[in-house]
Amino acid sequence: MLDLTTKDVLERKALRVNPCKTCQPAGAMFAALGVHSCMPHSHGSQGCCSYHRTVLSRHFKEPAIASSSSFTEGASVFGGRSNLNTAVKNIFDMYAPDVIAVHTTCLSETIGDDLTSYITDLDLPEGKHVVHCNTPSYVGSHINGFSNMMMGFMNYLTRKSGALNGKTAIFPGWVNPGDIRELKRIAALMGVPATFFPDQSGVLDAPMTGTYAYYPEGGTTLDEIRGLGDSSGLIALGEIIGLAPAEMMKKKWKVPYALLPLPVGVAYTDNYLIALRNAATGEDNIRPPVPPELEAERGRLVDLMLDSGQYTYQKKAAIFGDPDVVIGLTSLCLEIGMIPRYVITGTPKEDFTRKIEALFAKYGMEGCTAKANADLFDLHQWIKNEPVDLLIGSSYGKQIARAEDIPFVRAGFPVLDRYGGPLLPIVGYGGGMHLIEKITGALMDRYDRDCADEDFEVVM
């Protein structure tokens, strides 16, 4: 048998066999769904819109509403201005949103549709808005599309009145509604008035009331988006997804920002609390104390780490998915004594690799691999050459877990084959407890399956 390492696997630079990402318009659609009374609009063919709605609906188990310019051969040759004009009129007449959020696709980007001029020439009903962003599917990933749509809203709507509104803007990044609720709860406990943008809580986890509403009560309102320029400060969560929107806020409206990792695990959640304490500092320059409720949650998380350490210590893990989520998961795994042997994302962002390698160096990890713009096919080959004890990531890793008989913890986006995940946080101290329970449970299930009866009795 050949002794191979990750370096011995032939890299396929011009081919993706099993992508670890989806395309920009899906991210733009998800960001737009975090705005109250907003209709996401796909400027391209119906098939593009259908795919993006499908992947979002399958993950959140909720309807992901969206409309399409429905390109045909004529629009593909002569441009989509007429399609967009007709679509905007029909959408406002039939579905009555407050805002239509238009994103481009491969087709409209390739023919060069000028959406800025198209939208400028629209005759809109009073009080209605159309915003847009460019999201070519053949560049970047859904993470870039999410950031671009955030900046599209801010470019069209944010204003500076000259007086601060006393609120802190918080960009939660690409997380589940359950995560946003947890981030809001922590901010409220810290006494920080905040505007979360975008905010999918209450939209993609809307309660069952017996009556369907196109636009549930959740989401960031247009007034809140307009007021972002008057924020006293900004906390951007997710160093990859949050950088460009945070920089835009600083350059355009002079709003200072703190760019933080997604608060997964102890250290990164501590960072979030410190940023909130700084935001809550009053005129007397005295920072408020951390509430006892949060101190107790932190203590319980640390206690759980100690209790479960006998099962997680030195276990090798392969972690994959969206860059900021993967960075947070890697930090948590290192905190509980695991070895993150392979860490990848499909998003082409080399900052990701540098941040993961910095975590490796901090915890003295050697022989671990981090890679951006990676393919799950490569990850599978690495695991075949050097197996791991646990796989952590989206549902797209289930074939690897099945083929190599590896315990699998689903986390991130998309999780298509399980229920309840979007409701349960992975952020904050409570989210850390949830993750450790899942990780330890998967490892113990494997131990229970493989150990002999007499060994099991001795351990118990």
Q: What is the 3-state secondary structure (H, E, C) of 37-89?
A: CEEEEEECCHHHHHHHHHHHHHHHCCCCCCEECCCCHHHHHHCCHHHHHHHHH
Statement to judge: residues 227 and 90 lie in one domain? no
Does residue 158 form part of some domain?
no
Backbone angles phi, psi at 314, to 5 degrees: 65, 15
Statement to judge: residues 318 and 284 lie in one domain? no
Amino acid found at 357: E
Statement to judge: residues 266 and 310 lie in one domain? no
| Amino acid 455: pLDDT | 67
Domain encompassing residue 62: 24-139
Q: Give this prediction's pTM.
A: 0.93
- Tokens for 158, please give them: 């944010």
Residue 46 CB: number of other CB atoms within 10 A? 14
- Measured CA to CA, the distance from residue 56 to residue 349 in angstroms comes to 23
Distances (CA, A) of 346 to 156, 284, 394, 396, 406: 30, 46, 12, 12, 21
* Upstream peptide bond of 207 is cis (omega within 30 degrees of 0): no
| Amino acid 460: pLDDT | 47
| Amino acid 451: pLDDT | 85
Statement to judge: residues 262 and 385 lie in one domain? no
Which parts of the chain have pLDDT scores under 70? 1-13, 282-283, 455-460
Statement to judge: residues 265 and 322 lie in one domain? no
- Domains contained in the chain, number: 3
* Residue at a domain's end among 254, 277, 292: 292
Does residue 341 form part of some domain?
yes
Could you read off the pLDDT of 250-286 as tens digits, one per residue? 999 999 999 999 999 999 999 999 999 999 986 677 8
Statement to judge: residues 313 and 440 lie in one domain? yes
For 210, the 3-state DSSP assignment is coil
Rounded (10°) angle between helices 24-32 and 46-60: 60
Residue 2 CB: number of other CB atoms within 10 A? 5
Helices (H) and strands (E) in the chain, counts: 18, 13
Statement to judge: residues 242 and 125 lie in one domain? no
